[in-house]
Amino acid sequence: MSDLFPKKGHDHDRCVHSALAQAEKVCDRENARFTDMRRKVFTLIWQSHKAVTAYELLDALTAEGQRVQPPTVYRALEFLTELGLVHRIESLNAYFGCDRPDCEHLGQYFICTDCGRVAEAVNEDMSNAVRKAARSVGFTIQATTVEIKGLCHDCATH
Amino acid sequence: MSDLFPKKGHDHDRCVHSALAQAEKVCDRENARFTDMRRKVFTLIWQSHKAVTAYELLDALTAEGQRVQPPTVYRALEFLTELGLVHRIESLNAYFGCDRPDCEHLGQYFICTDCGRVAEAVNEDMSNAVRKAARSVGFTIQATTVEIKGLCHDCATH
DNA sequence: TCAGAAAATGATATATTATAACATTTCATC
DNA sequence: GATGAAATGTTATAATATATCATTTTCTGA
């Protein structure tokens, strides 16, 4: 069994750091500005293994001493999702950092209803099944939402 | 190519009628009351090929002369979704009638971003891919959300 | 280097979606 | 018909999201 969810004691700071580096690269490539606000929101999202709501981000920014209004957060989220740096989890109205912002993919999300952690998978079997099903009914895919709720291995066994 | 979305000129009243009959059977089996309010909400949902929001239902009920508040609608929706008579489309915050309330299934939803119509598929390839992916990472599925946005065949070709 | 344009953010207000809490009515059962 | 459970009514408010216009920051080209 592969470990989709992070192991205990993994070096999280390093994940965040590397995510930031990737994000910078993507922004560079797209000629998009990775402003302070966008970087802050991105970092806050990556500091959690859970999906984070816009208002949680707002509160976190406020706690950091910023005086921030909802539109500011939503704009940053819009920017980050458009670049694929962050994904929206529709069934949670919340946002989650993307591991692989550098390549096009149909992502799938496993959401543990016990511990709240989220993990992104890029499973080609699932993606292909979706693409094939769409093709078979003459449907042209623009975007997909695949969210799977249940118990992660840790929570199921403990 | 199979036709997932309804053809022009299909007998819609008959669809609604048969959905009502199915719903009654399910409620009967579950010893649940198919009250006037629930029937009204269910019927309104089935009268559309689009997903319908709670407040659209509220407006429709108001237009019918009822004086209805949000909790009433949300309660009916909760009841209907729990029995599987209606599905919630997470990416639209809206509700859609289920064709097959009588059997357990992992449904998938095709949502046309042009005409707004929604179609439910129960594609075993997709379901199996999801189940297999979950198994491979030790994840216990409780619920799945598979929503595919794009252009239906009609809209793509016209 | 600085003027002008474009992009980003600030600020205010409000729209949309959803639920908590308690009162009343309806319904099945005895 | 009395009783309790289920459903609905009613009021208030929470949670999520966006429209609009003002201001600031950044980029670009002369």
User: What is the per-residue pLDDT across B92-125, written as a single tens digit (0 to 9) for each?
Assistant: 999 999 888 888 888 999 999 999 999 999 999 9
List of residues 6+ apart from B124 with CB closer than 8 A: none
Alpha-carbon dihedral of residues A32, A38, A44, A48, nearest 10 degrees? -30
- Which residues of chain A (16-35) touch nucleic strand D at CB < 7 A? 33
pLDDT band at B66, cuts 50/70/90? confident
One fold for B10-100 and B104-158: no
pLDDT at A102: 83
- Every domain of chain B and the residues it spans: 10-100, 104-158
Mean pLDDT score across all residues of chain B: 95
Q: Does B6 touch chain A (CB under 8 A)?
A: no
pLDDT at B10: 84
pLDDT-above-70 percentage for chain B = 100
pLDDT at B101: 85
pLDDT at A99: 84
Q: Which tens digits make up the pLDDT trace of A21-65?
A: 999 999 999 999 999 999 999 999 999 999 999 999 999 999 999
* CATH architecture classification, B10-100: Orthogonal Bundle (1.10)
Strand C: list positions under 7 Å from protein Cβ. Answer: 7-13, 16-21, 27-28
Q: How many residues does chain A have?
A: 158
At the topology level, CATH places domain A11-101 in Arc Repressor Mutant, subunit A (1.10.10)
pLDDT at B98: 87
* Section B66-95 average pLDDT: 97
At the topology level, CATH places domain A104-158 in Dna Ligase; domain 1 (3.30.1490)
* Section B130-137 average pLDDT: 96
Instruction: Using CB atoms, pick whichever of A133, A136, A148 lies closest to residue B139.
Output: A148
Contact residues, A window 118-157, toward B, CB-based 8 Å cutoff: 119, 121, 123, 125-126, 128-130, 132-134, 136-153, 156
List of residues 6+ apart from B101 with CB closer than 8 A: B22, B23, B26, B83, B84, B85
| Residue B36, CB, strand D, below 7 Å | yes
Q: Does A66 touch chain B (CB under 8 A)?
A: no
CA distance B122 to chain A (A): 10
Q: Which tens digits make up the pLDDT trace of A117-157?
A: 999 999 999 999 999 999 999 999 999 999 999 999 999 99
Q: How far, in Å, CA of A19 to CA of B82, rounded?
A: 39
Alpha-carbon dihedral of residues A45, A148, A93, A58, nearest 10 degrees? -20
Question: Was B98 annotated as part of a binding site?
Answer: no
> Among A1-15, A17-31, A64-78, A144-158, which is the least confidently predicted range?
A1-15
